[in-house]
Structure 1
Amino acid sequence: MILADTRWSGVHGIGRYASEVLPRLSVEWTALDVGGRPSQPQDFLRVRRVPAGASIYSPGYNAFVARVPQVVTIHDLIHLHATTPRRAVYAAHYAAVLRPTVRRNGLVLTVSETSKRVIEEWVDDDRVRVVNAGNGLSAAFRVDGPSDATEHTRPYFLYVGNLRAHKNIDVVLTALAQTEGCRLVIVMNDREGALQRAAEFGVADRVEVRSGLTDEALAELYRGAVATVLPSLVEGFGLPAAESIACGTPVIFWEGCESIAEISRGQGVPVADPHDDLEWARALSTALSVRPRAGAFAAEYSWDRTAKLVSTTLRER
């Protein structure tokens, strides 16, 4: 009996992964009967025992003290990055709960080759198998389809993300202030926070914030953009990069962010310094004049494929 933690399901990030993968699993499972949020530090105490013969699967990084087979999905190790608030709390949890669980079970799922390598170094145990099940894309993200460009009087760049420190959006806002003839469209739930940040950098009149978009509406934005900007310092995968390129729009990214480089594979515009606003401004200006396009590879990112790999891994386990 597989008990799947369904509490992660949602719209973005791990939530999107859980929402897409769980319904597609080909192994029989039932929902784990547990309350609370899986991201809470004390969540590992909520499950102490399960029925005999049961195992636990989580599409997220949460593990429990229950001495039963558990397969967790570590999308990345961003919680251990220097920019993460309360990093010490996460570091203690990962060291005392998550890593021992992974080592005890000898298996962990992840979403990219970059994350696989990082996790292998972190877990530091040759007996642990790290399986890259990948990520998927909605069918909406494709080259052919309507474009949002006609609604904008000036060309625009697109940012899809949040305001967390590792996303490094400030360098793009600073660069935007130095780049004439363009706008920035931000897709983010925190509308007020994004507008306030734009005002702090003096570009509020050139920034538009959208939220609650369907995949179809987001795909239109990708297709209409000059490029998608992804200045992240670290990512486990970088779904906006895959979505953007699948729509034929390249990404401008820091070349040291390995997962974005892994996805773009020569179809993006790398920037050498993540904090050099002049270099980012030059990248924006160059993109405006050259208008590069990317070749689509949407078929390589399939939720069906990811669910199949997860199912196979759970079945073998």
Structure 2
Amino acid sequence: MRIAFDGGSFQQGILGGIHSVAVNFLNACRRLDPTFDVILVLDPRLGPVNPIAMAQLSWEPQTISAGVGPAYQSETRAPVGSSDPGVRLFVDGKLTDPGSNGDSVTYQGPRPEREFVILSRTAMPRDINGSSDLRKLGIAITGIVATDSSKRRSIAFDDRRLHRGYHAAEATFRWTEGSAFVPVEFFADFEDQIRVEITYNKLPIYPLSPGRLSESLESFRRELDALKLEHTTAELGARLKADGCEAYFTNHFIPAKMPQLKRFAWAYDLIPVLFPQFFHPDARQNFDANIEVFRAADRVYTISNSTLVDLAETLNLDRERLRYAGIAADVNIGPRKPDEVLKVLKKFDLQKSEYIIMVSTVEPRKNHLRLLQAYEMLRQRLPKCPKLVMVGQMGWDFQETLNFRDSRGLTADTLMLSNLTVDDLSCLYTGALFSVYPSVYEGFGLPILESMECGTPVLTSNVSSMAEIAADAALTVDPYSAEDISKGMHSLCTDAAMRANLIAKGDRRRQDYTWEKTAEIVLSDMRGLLA
């Protein structure tokens, strides 16, 4: 069997859960059927292939590149906008319009005591010049200089303390994300009145709200885009069929509809539909294209029964075209030896069984804010409260979470980590007292299974797929109640028998989810549909 497979996850800089599914699923299919092969379909606008991602496959499949991702059609459009980045400063609760000479702004007033934030318009280079750069860029800081009547101090653009709201420093500047914080500790020893000059570079244009003319032009462009996409997709489908592919399998990033081939798709969740407030417009646009693929697919494979029900009831899809396949944890995640665990814990100044772990991107849906509220209550109830270790990339709209953590004095006991290796992550799971995952909604909830794989008891939410995956092998709580989350954490902190019981049940539950089971379900079903 040879199919074309959505290779968009192999073009991502951050390899998340969708990529883990792609790699583990494809490798399992290859183990079960050595004749199974894929051509990975790439979209050049997603950037180059990530060699680390490709190296995770057990063989080297052929790749083919074409601009068939519907959500990436508008990257070369010249937006209607302004060359003015609209720099403003938010200082101690007050928004100021600083004086500007085109490449610098100046604040002059009381010494900042609580916050100093650089605000500006933002744009994506992709939308301006058609590049593959998908970052949201504000202004490029080249330097910050603070002065009072007796001293002058420069703050370098690459100072490591500049991290909230900034992209990584480049050779001579550092881009903001449109809302960049300057730590007020920089100004602590200055006089009551202070002058702060910020020098910067800027993008050539920042999109503004469209008017009637731009809306008409946009409508015309959309029609041209649709025709171009239809032609490109048909051409690619013909090439894939000539190369022996019988189907195209969508995996979220490149939801293309190829009439010459059978159409299969992974469905992870309906979160952008059910909780649109948690997503930015570009993510919702890509998901809309996925929904179109679901409606046209010969088969949609769901990662949980919860997702299957959502597809049938929310999108009114025919259940006959839906098939539960399930997924599993990454095969490389599992318990580690005591000496390995202690070595990693020492690196992060942690002690075995003296911390609670949460693994998740920091974004509103994952519920970090309520977790911190619950943790604050737990500290009041437990004299010797375990630390809280939160592992994950900064996603979006995370500022409220960080502000709460800092303002409540939780910083010393809450460790935030990211970019960990699989080995380090497995060691942190293994050494934790328990794992907590109080997300508001999930299509599956891989950290639940990852914890069970490492022999770690789990506390998770009693909603959506998390209740399904946990079954009776985890303690479940109401994710909308910080009090309920805190009570659950208290129970697991103080009840060793409960922890031992959940570890035993978790060990049995994890065996219900293997990549071999998933691959066998999908391969068998695809063979039937392709016969």
Hey, what's the Cα distance between the residues in 2 that align with 1:15 and 1:39?
Answer: 17
Hey, what's the Cα distance between the residues in 2 that align with 1:33 and 1:150?
Answer: 39
The amino acid across from 1:19 in the alignment is: V
- TM-score in terms of structure 2 length: 0.53
* Cα RMSD (Å): 3.1
What is the aligned partner in structure 1 of residue 188 from structure 2? none
What is the aligned partner in structure 2 of residue 174 from structure 1? 373
1:143–1:247: 8 Å Cα contact kept in structure 2? Answer: yes
2:326–2:518: 8 Å Cα contact kept in structure 1? Answer: yes
**Deviation larger for 297-306 or 215-224:** 297-306
Query: 1:222 Cα deviation (Å)?
Result: 1.5
2:257–2:263: 8 Å Cα contact kept in structure 1? Answer: no
Hey, what's the Cα distance between the residues in 2 that align with 1:289 and 1:89?
Answer: 41
Hey, what's the Cα distance between the residues in 1 that align with 2:335 and 2:437?
Answer: 20
What is the aligned partner in structure 2 of residue 137 from structure 1? 329
Question: Compared with structure 1, are the counterparts of its residues 78 and 125 closer, same or farther at alpha carbon in structure 2 (3 Å cutoff)?
Answer: closer
> After TM superposition, where is structure 1 displaced by more than 6 Å over at least 4 residues in a row?
191-194
The amino acid across from 1:7 in the alignment is: G
Question: Compared with structure 1, are the counterparts of its residues 31 and 163 closer, same or farther at alpha carbon in structure 2 (3 Å cutoff)?
Answer: same
2:436 aligned counterpart, secondary structure = strand
What is the aligned partner in structure 2 of residue 183 from structure 1? 387
Hey, what's the Cα distance between the residues in 2 that align with 1:39 and 1:226?
Answer: 43
**Deviation larger for 280-289 or 1-10:** 1-10
Query: 1:116 Cα deviation (Å)?
Result: 1.5
1:269 to 475, 481, 484: 475
- TM-score in terms of structure 1 length: 0.85
1:233–1:254: 8 Å Cα contact kept in structure 2? Answer: yes
What is the aligned partner in structure 1 of residue 413 from structure 2? 206
Hey, what's the Cα distance between the residues in 2 that align with 1:259 and 1:85?
Answer: 19
What is the aligned partner in structure 2 of residue 228 from structure 1? 435
1:177–1:202: 8 Å Cα contact kept in structure 2? Answer: no
Hey, what's the Cα distance between the residues in 2 that align with 1:18 and 1:114?
Answer: 20
Q: Superposed, which structure 2 residues align to 1:252-291 within 5 Å?
A: 252-255=459-462, 257-272=463-478, 274-291=479-496
The amino acid across from 2:3 in the alignment is: I
Q: Superposed, which structure 2 residues align to 1:17-36 within 5 Å?
A: 17-25=21-29, 26=33, 27-36=36-45
What is the aligned partner in structure 1 of residue 249 from structure 2? 57
The amino acid across from 2:438 in the alignment is: P
Structure possessing the higher radius of gyration over alpha carbons: 2
Q: Superposed, which structure 2 residues align to 1:119-134 within 5 Å?
A: 119-126=311-318, 128-134=320-326
1:270 aligned counterpart, secondary structure = strand
1:141–1:244: 8 Å Cα contact kept in structure 2? Answer: no
Question: Compared with structure 1, are the counterparts of its residues 162 and 39 closer, same or farther at alpha carbon in structure 2 (3 Å cutoff)?
Answer: farther
**Deviation larger for 49-58 or 289-298:** 49-58
Deviations along 1:181-210, one digit per CA (max 9) or x if unpaired, are: 221111112399776663244311111122
The amino acid across from 2:526 in the alignment is: L
2:311–2:317: 8 Å Cα contact kept in structure 1? Answer: no
Question: Compared with structure 1, are the counterparts of its residues 42 and 313 closer, same or farther at alpha carbon in structure 2 (3 Å cutoff)?
Answer: farther
What is the aligned partner in structure 2 of residue 41 from structure 1? 71
1:278 aligned counterpart, secondary structure = helix
2:437–2:461: 8 Å Cα contact kept in structure 1? Answer: yes
Query: 1:74 Cα deviation (Å)?
Result: 1.2
Question: Compared with structure 1, are the counterparts of its residues 18 and 283 closer, same or farther at alpha carbon in structure 2 (3 Å cutoff)?
Answer: same
1:110–1:133: 8 Å Cα contact kept in structure 2? Answer: yes
Question: Compared with structure 1, are the counterparts of its residues 278 and 106 closer, same or farther at alpha carbon in structure 2 (3 Å cutoff)?
Answer: same
Q: Percent identity?
A: 22
What is the aligned partner in structure 2 of residue 85 from structure 1? 279
Query: 1:100 Cα deviation (Å)?
Result: 4.0
2:333–2:423: 8 Å Cα contact kept in structure 1? Answer: yes
1:162 to 350, 354, 361: 361
Hey, what's the Cα distance between the residues in 1 that align with 2:254 and 2:430?
Answer: 36
Hey, what's the Cα distance between the residues in 2 that align with 1:136 and 1:285?
Answer: 29
The amino acid across from 2:250 in the alignment is: S
Unaligned runs of 5+ in 2: 47-67, 74-225, 380-384
Hey, what's the Cα distance between the residues in 2 that align with 1:200 and 1:19?
Answer: 41
Query: 1:215 Cα deviation (Å)?
Result: 2.4
The amino acid across from 2:314 in the alignment is: W
Hey, what's the Cα distance between the residues in 1 that align with 2:409 and 2:324?
Answer: 42
**Deviation larger for 126-135 or 228-237:** 126-135
The amino acid across from 2:312 in the alignment is: E
**Deviation larger for 262-271 or 228-237:** 262-271
1:300 aligned counterpart, secondary structure = coil
Query: 1:127 Cα deviation (Å)?
Result: 6.2
Question: Compared with structure 1, are the counterparts of its residues 179 and 93 closer, same or farther at alpha carbon in structure 2 (3 Å cutoff)?
Answer: closer
What is the aligned partner in structure 2 of residue 71 from structure 1? 264
Hey, what's the Cα distance between the residues in 1 that align with 2:458 and 2:472?
Answer: 10
Query: 1:142 Cα deviation (Å)?
Result: 4.2
2:312–2:319: 8 Å Cα contact kept in structure 1? Answer: no
Query: 1:158 Cα deviation (Å)?
Result: 0.5
Hey, what's the Cα distance between the residues in 2 that align with 1:40 and 1:202?
Answer: 46
Hey, what's the Cα distance between the residues in 2 that align with 1:150 and 1:161?
Answer: 19
The amino acid across from 1:240 in the alignment is: P
What is the aligned partner in structure 2 of residue 246 from structure 1? 453
What is the aligned partner in structure 1 of residue 425 from structure 2? 218
**Deviation larger for 32-41 or 133-142:** 32-41
2:322 aligned counterpart, secondary structure = strand
Query: 1:299 Cα deviation (Å)?
Result: 3.0
Deviations along 1:8-63, one digit per CA (max 9) or x if unpaired, are: 13632101111222244343321225323398723694634311744311233642
What is the aligned partner in structure 1 of residue 100 from structure 2? none
The amino acid across from 1:248 in the alignment is: G
